[in-house]
Amino acid sequence: MDTTVTTGNEENVWGGGNRPLGASYGKMMMWFFIVSDALTFSGFLASYGFSRFKFIETWPIADEVFTHVPFFHGNYPMIYVAFMTFVLIMSSVTMVLAVDAGHKMKQNKVIIYMFLTIIGGAIFVGSQAWEWATFIKGDFGALETKGGRVLQFVKADTGERASISEFSMTLEEDRVADARDSGIWFTDNESLPNYSLNEVIEGFKANPNILIRTEKINEEGEKTLLTREQSLGRLKDAVRVVEGANLVRNEYGSRLFADFFFFITGFHGFHVFSGVVINVIIFFNIILGTYERRGHYEMVEKVGLYWHFVDLVWVFVFTFFYLV
Amino acid sequence: MAHEHKLEIFRGLLKFKSNTQKIWGVLIFLSVVTAIEVVLGIIKPSFLVLTSFLGMKLLNWIFIILTLVKAYYIAWDFMHLRDEKSSMRRAIVWTPIFLVSYLVFILLFEAVYIYDVFKNGFFAWDF
């Protein structure tokens, strides 16, 4: 395509001005990077698939994990992620429009579209930060058993999830968090959950309306609900209260789910963040008229490729984390 | 500068007048596909969930195919691969497709094997 003529007279390879495959050096290198980065992301997503197929019967159901929308209460699975996807696609569109305006050498239009792209990217990164915070904070709380399985609670009459704060008892007991300055050397322990194991267990025994839900997915694609007797039996295996998720504990189910969530969306978020930074640099260059003087806007096209790639990766992350 | 954009999508079914129009057209298409995915993800029609094809729910196959469709239009129209030389396009597209299918095949096959070991072997993990 002729729209990206850059080399012309200035950069010649042995005086020849070669452009293999009709792409300039910079654009070609951007594609090299994109292909290798795509393979990195594929590696992550494939290993996610590996872990998921390994624990196919107990993997958390994404619809039940990501149910929040900022400023709204209630259960809205997928809505917010769909919004984030739309924001990213939209910022991709403004980026193409910027590239298109660059081809026509319309500086002011490029400035506007680049600005909109940056805003879109910022909204996306902010949303992802919010998503992380919600995920880390947790929803209902759960118990973890000796074997590392997670037991969640459900109200028997309505079938809704029950939060441990709803039924736990408040017992008179002293729980002390070990800390380095209290004389225990070289150890740091996890921060104490809001309720102790005993408080949850006693509250469960006192409240006949609460049932336990295990991680196992039944034939209808739902988590298995235990009867009251089974629940009381299973309760004996519990060793700790889990609230929220981190790299070691995860109230939503399999810990690997949280690990992969942090790792893959984190790596993607890092790409978006660096994309925004690069876009800002290019944005100021456009304002300063660098590309106007250079005579072409190929630089916008190159960062555009990176930006679309980030969007492309998100399409896959969206599918494999939230939909499938 | 000359502008050579291929302006038709869907194999020539839809032809746009300018590149800008094509961009908006592709945006509408991508949004519609995403909306379909989200609606299917919320409703989860039971016949799609209960039917299994090649070891995966039919619904998941639909999601994956729709994702590949979206990826195609992002790469072809936003990253304007459609306007690149076909040799360049093939080098970019087929290399990852080959490597990724290989990797995914091996890893998923192995994962199913490990699942069987966990399920049928003398190995306790649900306690």
pLDDT digits (tens, 9 = 90+) for B1-11: 335 678 777 77
Number of structural domains in chain A: 2
- Pair (A29, A127) in one structural domain: yes
Nearest to B2 among A2, A145, A146 (CB): A2
Query: Could you report the per-residue pLDDT of A85-139, keeping only the tens digit for each?
Result: 999 999 999 999 999 999 999 999 999 999 999 999 999 999 999 999 999 998 8
Does residue A271 form part of some domain? yes
Predicted ipTM? 0.90
Q: Tell me how close the Cα of A193 comes to any Cα of chain B, in angstroms.
A: 22
At position A316, the amino acid (one-letter code) is F
| B108–A311 C-beta distance less than 8 A | no
Q: How far apart are CA A286 and CA B126, in angstroms?
A: 59
Tell whether B77 and B121 lie within a shared domain.
no
**Which amino acid type is present at position B93?**
V
Alpha helices by DSSP H, listed for chain A, are 25-54, 62-65, 79-103, 107-137, 164-167, 197-206, 228-235, 255-260, 266-288, 290-294, 298-317
Per CB-CB distance under 8 Å, the chain A contacts of B108 are: 46, 49-50, 53
Interchain CB distance below 8 Å, A324 and B60: yes
A199 half-sphere exposure, CB direction, 13 A CA radius: 20
Does one domain contain both A134 and A266? yes
What pLDDT was estimated at residue A63? Answer: 85
Query: Shortest Cα distance from B100 to chain A (angstroms)?
Result: 7
A94 and A158 in a single domain? The answer is: no
Structural domain harbouring B104: 85-127
pLDDT in tens, A16-66: 667 778 888 889 999 999 999 999 999 999 999 999 999 988 999 988 888
- Per the CB < 8 Å rule, is B78 touching A55? no
Measure the CA–CA gap between A282 and A261, rounded to whole angstroms.
31
Residues B61 and B95 in one domain: no
Looking at the complex, report in whole angstroms how far the Cα of residue A267 sits from the nearest Cα belonging to chain B: 19
Contact assignment for B23 to A100 by CB distance below 8 Å: yes
Domain range for A126 is: 20-138+257-323
Same domain, B97 and B48: no
The full DSSP string for B75-126 is IIIIS-GGGS-HHHHHHHHHHHHHHHHHHHHHHHHHHHHHHHHHHHSS----
Residues A26 and A116 in one domain: yes
Nearest alpha carbon to residue A76 among B125, B116, B1, B41: B41
Taking the C-alpha atoms of residue A285 and residue A98, their distance in angstroms, rounded to an integer, is: 14
Question: How many structural domains does chain B have?
Answer: 2
Of A46, A57, A100, the CB nearest to B104: A46
What is the model's pLDDT at position A266?
95
Report whether pLDDT(B70) > 50.
yes
Q: Mean pLDDT of all residues in chain A?
A: 89
Q: Do residues B49 and B102 share a domain?
A: no
**Residue B77 shares a structural domain with residue B93:** no
Minimum CA–CA partner of B89 in chain A: A21
Same domain, B89 and B107: yes
How many of the other CB atoms lie within 10 Å of CB of A247? 10
Give the residue from chain A lying closest to B62, CA to CA: A324
Nearest Cα residue in chain B from A87: B31
